[in-house]
Amino acid sequence: MSPETVRYIVGALFILLVFSFIGSIVYGRRVVRTEVTDAVFGNPVRALGGWYWVITGVCSILLLWFYFSWDAARAYFPNSANEMCQVARVDSELNALRSSFPMQSRLLKSTSFLAREGTQIEKARRLISKSGIDPALRDQYLSAADTVEAMLFTRASADSLSAENKIAIDELALRIDEATAMLADPSFPGPATEAEIKAAAEQPAWGEGLKKEIPDIPNTDRGRKFFQISQEMSAITADFTKIRNLDDGFIAEVKTLSDELKGLQTSGDDAEETKALTKSLDKILKRVDDGNIFPPTALDPIENAMKLFNAEQNVQKGNLKLLDALAFPGGEIRAGSTACTEQGSGRWLPKPSDTLTSLIEISDPTVGFKTVPLLWYEWKPVGEMLAFFIPDWVADLVPGEYPRHTASGVIDANLKTKVLNFATGNYPSFSVPVPAGHLWDSIMRVLAGLFLGIVLGVPLGLFMGLSRFAKGFFDPLIELYRPVPPLAWAPLILTIFGINDDGKIFLLFMVAFAIMVISARTGATGTQLSKIHAAHSLGATNRQIIRRVILPNSLPEILTGIRIAIGVCWGTLVAAEMLAGTTGIGFIENVARKQSNYEIIWVTIILLGLLGLLFDLIMRWIINRTIPWRGKG
């Protein structure tokens, strides 16, 4: 099937769903009306549930929209995101310029600066009046504050604007007008060059490979137009920020005042206080020195030019405005320094096809995630695996000494060397394939922790259930660590055992151990006395009773304990892997979080959920197979 066909089948399905949900809303509305009449004249129960249909319909449409709008936009308007990316570039270049005028902000920037510095001067004045310094010095400070304020106000007077600045402002306004004209010109920027076409064609298409969320090299005429304008606007903004309402005389005045303020600082008892006062006034003076305050109408030419440009930009966006609202409900497309991405409050919603593509991508064993495959196999020498079970110190027990190299540099292997090589797996042996990868690592950690917890926890739990002494001795020890949330132990344990598997397995062991002890203990104490009596009078010894009566009788509790322990271990493991480590599904999620890669985050969430469900289903199956008598004894 061609992509076109798929697109139309999906589209038809989509429309069908939308209409069925609209139908459910309409049906619900009708039922609600019937309900109102029936409450008075008929059967009041018959027509209940109308609002259910309405709410379900509305929610389903919203969900459908939020989930599939991205894919729908990609299918039907494959160039839309690319064009919006270019528009976003213009917007991001114009950010500094627009925020200087009442376009993106409420006040003219000069107005808000004046208001802010005025408040600061008032604050400084209060600080000076309240201070306990010498009254004469205080008056000097207050007059300095007046001077600072006066200097601030001079910037608002029309005289302050220099002739060069006036020219520069008019020039910029002209350049903006030119850009507006370019934007309006249907023939701009003319046919694409060979290089432009090639670059646009070579970049991955939208959704193809996920290195970039959206292709950012313009590949339509409209896109290229906005791209060119964004380049021009970048230059204009740079020149605009260079215009400062300053002249040499003013700069000299500021310098003198600043020195004067420093001169007011004393070195006596008031040193601290005068230092603070000087600093508060000097801070205001420094802002005045920035030259960002202009006379009220000085920048009008630029503002007017920008208004025209904004209007033209809006016109040129055309259908992109509607697409933006409909196809990107969760957020909008913004241009960053390296790439265009969708951002906004709804960005965390999974994009279905991108999530699937991410899963397929990291499932490829040659790609994996951070060079480790998701789930694959690797060839491992048998000797190395065998060495895992043989401690290295076995070699130390062999009598004799390890060989030293001879004068000719040769090392003669003796028996000790050979044993050491065997214990460390340092010898040629055939290799077998063993599973490997992030998923496998995570699962093995859980199983190892769980296994240790069961093997040590169940006997201890049974023992505690049977012996008062054991209960009294071990119960406080276990209750000492059990109430602490396992993750609270994690930093400590990962520090002691290291970030490799040992630490995580020990953490999981702690979790599983406590659960298994408690469940085995409950099982053992729950054994009916008559069963133990019966076994006794049938000639069973104490040991046989534990093995043949108490253990099987505790199996339901033990297996339920294992089922709970798997769930808790799974949760703890993911968090532990997020804290430290270089493999595992929690590690993937943590890295994806740092990269803001929502699709990978969703892949890990889905995988974790499916594996958790799988564990639980296996446990349920085991429980049904091994203890069919549960609840029937």
Which of positions 551-580 make contact with other proteins (CB under 8 A)?
552-553, 555
176 binds other proteins (CB under 8 A): no
The answer to whether the beta carbons of residues 196 and 221 sit under 8 Å apart is: no
Alpha helices, H only, 404-437:
415-424
Which residue, 421 or 626, has its beta carbon nearer to other proteins? Answer: 626
Question: Nearest distance from residue 532's CB to other proteins, in Å?
Answer: 9
Which residue, 380 or 536, has its beta carbon nearer to other proteins? Answer: 536
The answer to whether the beta carbons of residues 227 and 87 sit under 8 Å apart is: no
How many H helices and E strands in the chain?
26, 4
d(CA 601, CA 593) in angstroms, rounded, equals 7
Which residue, 142 or 555, has its beta carbon nearer to other proteins? Answer: 555
Three-state SS for 201?
helix
Question: Nearest distance from residue 630's CB to other proteins, in Å?
Answer: 9
135 binds other proteins (CB under 8 A): no
540 binds other proteins (CB under 8 A): yes
533 binds other proteins (CB under 8 A): yes
Cα 152 versus chain centre, distance: 45
Q: What is the DSSP letter of 411?
A: B
Which residue, 409 or 628, has its beta carbon nearer to other proteins? Answer: 628
d(CA 284, CA 119) in angstroms, rounded, equals 10
531 binds other proteins (CB under 8 A): yes
Closest by CA position to 307, among listed 92, 96, 98, 95: 98
Question: Nearest distance from residue 540's CB to other proteins, in Å?
Answer: 5
d(CA 395, CA 411) in angstroms, rounded, equals 17
Q: Which of 135, 249, 268, 539 binds other proteins (CB under 8 A)?
A: 539
- Cα-atom radius of gyration of the chain, to the nearest Å? 38
Q: How many chain residues interact with other proteins (CB under 8 A)? A: 23
Which residues lie below 8 Å from residue 307, measured CB to CB, with a gap of 6+?
Answer: 103
Q: Which of 36, 197, 386, 534 binds other proteins (CB under 8 A)?
A: 534
Closest by CA position to 578, among listed 512, 507, 474, 477: 507
632 binds other proteins (CB under 8 A): yes
210 binds other proteins (CB under 8 A): no
d(CA 277, CA 144) in angstroms, rounded, equals 11
Question: Nearest distance from residue 524's CB to other proteins, in Å?
Answer: 15
Which residue, 468 or 632, has its beta carbon nearer to other proteins? Answer: 632
Dmax of the chain from CA atoms? Answer: 115
Q: Which of 193, 541, 596, 624 binds other proteins (CB under 8 A)?
A: 541
Which residue, 552 or 567, has its beta carbon nearer to other proteins? Answer: 552
10 binds other proteins (CB under 8 A): no
Q: What value, to the nearest 5°, has the Cα angle with vertex 85 and ends 101 and 5?
A: 145
Which residue, 350 or 556, has its beta carbon nearer to other proteins? Answer: 556
Question: Nearest distance from residue 632's CB to other proteins, in Å?
Answer: 4
Which residues lie below 8 Å from residue 313, measured CB to CB, with a gap of 6+?
Answer: 87, 90, 183
Q: Which of 281, 535, 559, 569 binds other proteins (CB under 8 A)?
A: 535
Question: Nearest distance from residue 628's CB to other proteins, in Å?
Answer: 7
Which of positions 602-631 make contact with other proteins (CB under 8 A)?
627-629
Alpha helices, H only, 209-346:
221-242, 248-264, 271-289, 300-317, 320-327
Which residues lie below 8 Å from residue 173, measured CB to CB, with a gap of 6+?
Answer: 301, 302, 304, 305
d(CA 510, CA 242) in angstroms, rounded, equals 64
Which residue, 237 or 553, has its beta carbon nearer to other proteins? Answer: 553
**Structural tokens at position 178:** 């030119």
Which residue, 145 or 627, has its beta carbon nearer to other proteins? Answer: 627
Alpha helices, H only, 42-158:
50-76, 80-93, 95-98, 109-130, 135-154
Question: Nearest distance from residue 557's CB to other proteins, in Å?
Answer: 13
Q: Which of 326, 548, 595, 620 binds other proteins (CB under 8 A)?
A: 548
Q: Which of 549, 569, 574, 607 binds other proteins (CB under 8 A)?
A: 549
Q: Which of 13, 415, 455, 538 binds other proteins (CB under 8 A)?
A: 538
116 binds other proteins (CB under 8 A): no
d(CA 157, CA 294) in angstroms, rounded, equals 8
Question: Nearest distance from residue 633's CB to other proteins, in Å?
Answer: 4
Question: Which range in 63-71, 180-188, 441-449, 531-539 contacts other proteins by CB under 8 A?
Answer: 531-539
Per-residue mark of binding to other proteins, 414-443 (x: CB under 8 A): ------------------------------
Q: Which of 119, 528, 595, 596 binds other proteins (CB under 8 A)?
A: 528
Please tell me the number of Cα atoms within 13 Å of 68 on its side-chain side: 17
Question: Nearest distance from residue 519's CB to other proteins, in Å?
Answer: 17
Which residue, 409 or 633, has its beta carbon nearer to other proteins? Answer: 633
**Structural tokens at position 30:** 């009708």
d(CA 173, CA 300) in angstroms, rounded, equals 9
Please tell me the number of Cα atoms within 13 Å of 351 on its side-chain side: 28
544 binds other proteins (CB under 8 A): yes
Which residue, 340 or 549, has its beta carbon nearer to other proteins? Answer: 549
Which residue, 494 or 549, has its beta carbon nearer to other proteins? Answer: 549
Which residue, 193 or 544, has its beta carbon nearer to other proteins? Answer: 544
Cα 480 versus chain centre, distance: 35
Which residue, 43 or 530, has its beta carbon nearer to other proteins? Answer: 530
542 binds other proteins (CB under 8 A): no
d(CA 51, CA 36) in angstroms, rounded, equals 12
What count of other Cβ atoms lies within 10 Å of the Cβ of residue 492? Answer: 11
Site residues, other proteins (CB under 8 A): 528, 530-531, 533-541, 544, 548-549, 552-553, 555, 627-629, 632-633
